[in-house]
Amino acid sequence: MGVALSIANTVLFRYLLLRFHGFGKNHYLTMIALCHIPTVFLAIVPFLDTWDFPKARSFTYKEHSRYDFSIYEPFPGFSNIQSIPFLTATGVVAIGAYVIPFGSFFIIFSISSLIKRHTSMSDRTKEVAKMMVKGLAFQTMLPFLAYTPIVSFYLYSQFTGEEMLLTEHFLMLCSGFPALCDPFISCYCILPYRQAIIKFISRQTRRGSVVGQSSRSKVSTIDARSVNLHLF
């Protein structure tokens, strides 16, 4: 939810900036608050339900009789995942997995249309803006591809009661995949980042070539002195 909202916030910010040509301090604070409130809500709302840890432990032992849970004792858990707080949290997670990505794609399409119709932008600025929009599209697509299947499996397990091993084994992998790829997309699609990286690589390459040439010249000087000493 946090990743989806942060990307949607960035997309919405770019759209509003192009649409209204300015932003106030209150708008920034509102967007940041809207990005964090649902995440905090998801972290708190399950604890508003009635706690019944003994029932949760006994049910865990019954469902997973082959596992050894003694090393984890005492462990907590929630026994009623069909309660109002859990269903509310599930609805918020579903919104984050389905509604936010499609809404972000719609706003990205609107940004592309605004850039094409923008008359005060130069062609160079439009090309840079289009590259940034491509980056936002890729950044939106990554959470959609990584999180939506996992959330779908979770919803299926919660409402049918059937266990989905894919959810257990691929949860951490899918959760970390967007965070792994996102910096590379930003560094390629955002022009200042790309220019800084190219400049850094060029500087390191020139420094390496200078060091190599200096080392070769020193070796040549030492060889020449050795020859002169032998002749003498």
Show contacts of 112-119: CB within 8 Å, 24+ apart.
114/15, 114/18, 114/19, 115/18, 118/18
If you average pLDDT over every residue of the chain, what do you get? Answer: 75
* Cα(108)–Cα(103) distance, integer angstroms: 9
For the CA atoms of the chain, what is the radius of gyration? 28
Chain-centroid distance of CA 154 in Å reads: 20
pLDDT digits (tens, 9 = 90+) for 61-120: 777 778 877 777 776 666 566 778 778 888 888 887 888 888 888 888 888 888 887 777
When pLDDT is cut at 50, 70 and 90, the band that residue 38 belongs to is confident
Dihedral of CA atoms 199, 202, 204, 206 in degrees, nearest 10, equals -140
Q: What is the domain partition of the chain in residue ranges?
A: 1-207
> Following DSSP, what letter does each residue of 106-173 receive, concatenated?
HHHHHHHHHHHH-SSS-HHHHHHHHHHHHHHHHHHHHHHHHHHHHHHHHHHHHHH----HHHHHHHHH
- Decide: pTM greater than 0.85: no
Share of the chain above pLDDT 90, in %: 0
